[in-house]
Amino acid sequence: MSKESKSSSALVMKFGGTSVGSPKAIEHIIEIARKCRQEWSRIVIVTSAMAGVTNLLVESAERAIVGDEVFISKAEIELQNKHYSIVEKLVPSSAERAQLKQEIKHLSMEFANLCRAISILGEATPRALDAVVSLGERLSVRLLAGILKSAGFPAQFVETTNIVVTDDCFQAAHPNLEETAKNVQNILIPMLMLKQIPVLTGFIGATKEGITTTLGRGGGDYSAAIIGAALPADEVWIWTDVSGVMTADPRIVEDARTIPELNYREMAELSYFGAKVLHPKAVRPVVEVGIPVRICNTFKPEDEGTRVTKNNEAAPKIKNGARGIVKAVTAIQDQRLITVEGRGMLGVPGVAARTFGAVAATGTSVPLITQASSEQSISFSVPNESAEAVLDSLHIAFATELARRDIDRVWATDEVAIITAVGNGLQHTPGVAGQIFSALGSADVNILAIAQGSSKVAISLIVTAKDTEKAIHTLHQFITG
Ligand code: ASP
Ligand code: MG
């Protein structure tokens, strides 16, 4: 898309952990920034921590709780060296290098002090954990801004503790979009008017009182969307290490390819069903204001990637049904299908509530549920490793009904997979489900349960684990380029 005509166009770009994870990756960012400077008049960059750093910080905090001082000291050095080595390769001026290393050293010491405090207390509150894990982005933002500056860009790092206002739900804080928008106007807009490139910490925010919070793991995408909505930006680009969202897992389907365009609802279905390219929460703030999101590959910047747009129109009626309607096929593996069944369940209120109450009590989340109108059984899937605990919990919850034979059986299948076909056209095009089922039938894939997402843009099927690949291949044939 040509941007020459957009004199005040604004682009928010978010770089994920691998995009800032090596000198090579950061060199790509410099090239990307150079190109975008020519095409966009205002650019805001949001960055993740360097790849592996957030995990290291989380592990350090856990080790600190049990007093593992040796781990903390090693982690401090690792943290420092990871960032130093990039500075050494990419910052030619010795004065700038020294300055950056000083800042990195300072934050690494803050890390060690926080961990030692946790170690003395023998516990870490969610608030303390956020103080520790936020250091990854506080480091990377200085690193990236410093490198961009040294490459000649007017880049300036900004900690989003000054911008993204959240509640005090530490570890998974909720942003206050209105307050955040005010800060964006007061802090970012003046920087953009001065032609600066603000480089912001993804993932983190602060309460009204100024205490650091984080938005939950993978929250950097969310940050980019929040900032994009608040500016508002014309587009939000999420730079990662794959060229957008694929039609299927390329490890399973050889000719899987990038989906050029998805609408928000399709994207959300894909996110929930295991295509972990874009955090589903990231979709929300931008959908509301109609800003398109592009997912692109830092290592192959020329690839178009996937555009996620508001476009929600019904797909044109295509004569050959499912072909051209299904856009992606995903699989969630390592599941088991649990069934609560009995003739005494018919018309008895509360069986479903008690079933899912018993499941919830084990801390298990349920990705798929089905019940037919005969009301003689409820089936749902749970991750393999939770199945035994869920069965035990159900046996306890329904002990009386089981004894009375109102419920005959509570049981689990062997391992199964949830296969999901996603496409906006599924909601309007007659016969697509039929074609999907006949194709699977011809391929000799037995379907154990079916659910259509309430969003209606997805159909999910349960198949036995050994049929997973066959089912994915069969459905992938419906995707046309
Ligand atoms: N650094 C954070 C994480 O690894 C946030 C992000 O990268 O999106 O979870
Ligand atoms: Mg991510």
Helix (H, G, I), strand (E, B) or coil at 45: strand
Q: Is 54 in the pocket of ligand 1 (CB under 6 A)?
A: yes
CB atoms within 10 A of CB 252: 14
429 neighbors 317 (Cβ within 8 angstroms): yes
pLDDT at 105 over 80: yes
DSSP 95: H
Greatest CA span in the chain, whole angstroms?
81
Ligand closest to 219 (CA) is 1
DSSP 246: B
Residue with tokens 């479903």: 352
Query: What's the CA-to-centroid distance between 51 and ligand 2, angstroms?
Result: 10
432 neighbors 466 (Cβ within 8 angstroms): no
Query: What's the CA-to-centroid distance between 221 and ligand 2, angstroms?
Result: 6
Helix (H, G, I), strand (E, B) or coil at 231: coil
pLDDT digits (tens, 9 = 90+) for 140-199: 999 999 999 999 999 999 999 999 999 999 999 999 999 999 999 999 999 999 999 999
Ligand closest to 241 (CA) is 2
pLDDT of residue 429: 77
Q: Is 220 in the pocket of ligand 1 (CB under 6 A)?
A: yes
State mean pLDDT over 209-217: 97
State mean pLDDT over 316-344: 82
Q: Which residue has the higher pLDDT, 481 or 272?
A: 272
Mean pLDDT of the chain: 92
Residue nearest to atom 5 of ligand 1 (CA): 218
Atom of ligand 1 nearest to the CA of 136: 1
| Tokens standing for residue 6 | 């957009």
Q: Is 203 in the pocket of ligand 1 (CB under 6 A)?
A: yes
Ligand closest to 46 (CA) is 1
Query: What's the CA-to-centroid distance between 159 and ligand 2, angstroms?
Result: 19
Ligand closest to 224 (CA) is 1
The secondary structure of 151-201 as a DSSP string is: TT--EEEE-GGGT-BB-S-TTSPPB-HHHHHHHIIIIIHHHHHTT-EEEEE
pLDDT of residue 449: 92
- Taking the CA atoms of residue 277, residue 478, residue 383 and residue 360 in that order, the dihedral angle to the nearest 10 degrees is 90
Query: What's the CA-to-centroid distance between 262 and ligand 1, angstroms?
Result: 24
Query: What's the CA-to-centroid distance between 203 and ligand 1, angstroms?
Result: 6
Q: Which residue has the higher pLDDT, 362 or 348?
A: 362
Atom of ligand 1 nearest to the CA of 279: 8
CA–CA gap between residue 164 and residue 285 (Å, rounded)? 13
For 134, counting Cβ atoms within 10 Å of its Cβ (0-12 exposed, 13-18 middle, 19+ buried), the class is buried
Q: Is 219 in the pocket of ligand 1 (CB under 6 A)?
A: yes
pTM attached to this predicted model: 0.87
How far CA 269 is from CA of 225, 252, 326, 395, 423, in Å, comes to 18, 20, 13, 32, 9
User: Order of strands, edge to edge, in the sheet holding 368-371?
Assistant: 368-371, 377-383, 328-341, 409-422, 458-464, 447-452
pLDDT of residue 372: 79
pLDDT of residue 192: 97
Q: Is 214 in the pocket of ligand 1 (CB under 6 A)?
A: no
CB atoms within 10 A of CB 399: 11
Q: Is 223 in the pocket of ligand 1 (CB under 6 A)?
A: no
pLDDT at 278 over 90: no
State mean pLDDT over 373-387: 92
Q: Is 17 in the pocket of ligand 1 (CB under 6 A)?
A: yes
pLDDT of residue 392: 98
pLDDT of residue 401: 93
| Tokens standing for residue 55 | 């995990």
State mean pLDDT over 110-137: 98
| Tokens standing for residue 103 | 């800042």
Confidence class for position 273, pLDDT limits 50, 70, 90? low
User: Order of strands, edge to edge, in the sheet holding 293-297?
Assistant: 155-158, 197-201, 42-47, 10-15, 235-240, 293-297, 306-309, 261-263
State mean pLDDT over 434-446: 93
Helix (H, G, I), strand (E, B) or coil at 446: coil
Confidence class for position 286, pLDDT limits 50, 70, 90? confident
Query: What's the CA-to-centroid distance between 336 and ligand 1, angstroms?
Result: 30
Confidence class for position 320, pLDDT limits 50, 70, 90? low
Confidence class for position 110, pLDDT limits 50, 70, 90? very high
Atom of ligand 1 nearest to the CA of 222: 8
Q: Among 76, 80, 58, 210, which Cα is nearest to 129's?
A: 58
State mean pLDDT over 261-285: 75
Q: Is 239 in the pocket of ligand 1 (CB under 6 A)?
A: no
Q: Is 21 in the pocket of ligand 1 (CB under 6 A)?
A: no
Q: Is 202 in the pocket of ligand 1 (CB under 6 A)?
A: yes
Burial string for 266-285 (b: 16+ CB within 10 Å, else e) reads bbbbbbbbebebbbbbbbbb
> Any idea which of 25-39, 215-229, 329-343, 415-429 has the lowest mean pLDDT?
415-429
Q: Among 75, 2, 77, which Cα is nearest to 35's?
A: 2
49 neighbors 137 (Cβ within 8 angstroms): yes
Query: What's the CA-to-centroid distance between 396 and ligand 1, angstroms?
Result: 39
State whether the Cα torsion 201-204-206-212 is positive or negative.
Answer: negative
Q: Among 440, 427, 384, 390, which Cα is nearest to 410's?
A: 390
| Tokens standing for residue 158 | 């900004």
Query: What's the CA-to-centroid distance between 222 and ligand 2, angstroms?
Result: 9
pLDDT of residue 73: 98
Query: What's the CA-to-centroid distance between 344 and ligand 2, angstroms?
Result: 47
Q: Among 141, 145, 163, which Cα is nearest to 155's?
A: 145
pLDDT of residue 2: 44
Q: Is the peptide bond before 260 cis (omega within 30 degrees of 0)?
A: no
